[in-house]
Structure 1
């Protein structure tokens, strides 16, 4: 092989290895911040044949089951159930809930899976428009009717 071509090949392979290493390190660094989105049914039954592992960070979206909100009178701890079209999943949260949070409302929570049916949430987001929901959840909930909350002030 020509020495000039050998030098170019070595340079090209070195650059390819460095770029591959940099991309690998970036992907490894991002694995801690990736939160997969699940619905309650997908947590129980699995998503694409795989169930989330206990301790895994995830996002869950669903409707708060009417009558399931339980507040601790001495702390900010709240427990409530979420449902989509299948089984219920329990969510535990400590903190101040959003003003729009209420029973029958759609929410998205980010947290850690404690066991097969319980999530310890670090963040709870309530949707602001009753017509909007994440596309994944909207697809799952087509045709399902939910109880809308009462208008207490009206």
Structure 2
């Protein structure tokens, strides 16, 4: 009788471990497209990601680089003060998007151009995404705004 109880416990524990492994694998599989890593223009220039990897890039929109062509594709450069990455986007830009301001884009780096599927801009004159601030500070370009 004791051997049967011990065997049943081992079976229950084994089933629980297998269920935990399967559920963890399913959660990881479901989240694989929802996790986008942030990269600065310097990181993209130093180690270009594969064309299939979706990631976020952030920095300042380079002055004089914003252009809209006949096909309504928007192109501009994003910089962190050290490296520059060309960005192409087809869609409507946020109202606060402008040259010299912070931005974050989600997309893929294809043939040397970041093909953005989404562009985010700062929401007021003092806000900049934390990742962008960190990347700019790393390059020695970021300056704190005066006043509180």
Normalising by the residue count of structure 2, what TM-score does the alignment of the two structures yield?
0.86
What does 1:66-85 correspond to in 2, within 5 Å?
A: 66-72=63-69, 74-85=70-81
Q: Which runs of 5+ in 2 are unaligned?
A: 144-148
Aligned twin of 1:2 = 3
Aligned twin of 1:130 = 125
**Of Structure 1 and Structure 2, which has the larger fraction of its residues in helix?**
2
Matched, 1:88 2:84: yes
Aligned-residue CA RMSD (Å): 1.8
Alpha-carbon offset, residue 118 of structure 1: 1.1
The 3-state SS of whatever aligns with 1:32 is coil
CA distance in 2, matches of 1:14, 1:22: 12
CA distance in 1, matches of 2:86, 2:52: 15
Normalising by the residue count of structure 1, what TM-score does the alignment of the two structures yield?
0.83
Q: Which runs of 5+ in 1 are unaligned?
A: 147-154
The question of whether the paired residues in 2 share the 8 Å contact of 1:57 and 1:111 is answered with yes
CA distance in 1, matches of 2:102, 2:89: 16
What does 1:47-126 correspond to in 2, within 5 Å?
A: 51-72=48-69, 74-115=70-111, 117-126=112-121
Q: 1:35 to 1:145 in 2, by over 3 A?
A: closer
Aligned structure 1 segments of 4 or more residues deviating by more than 3 angstroms: none
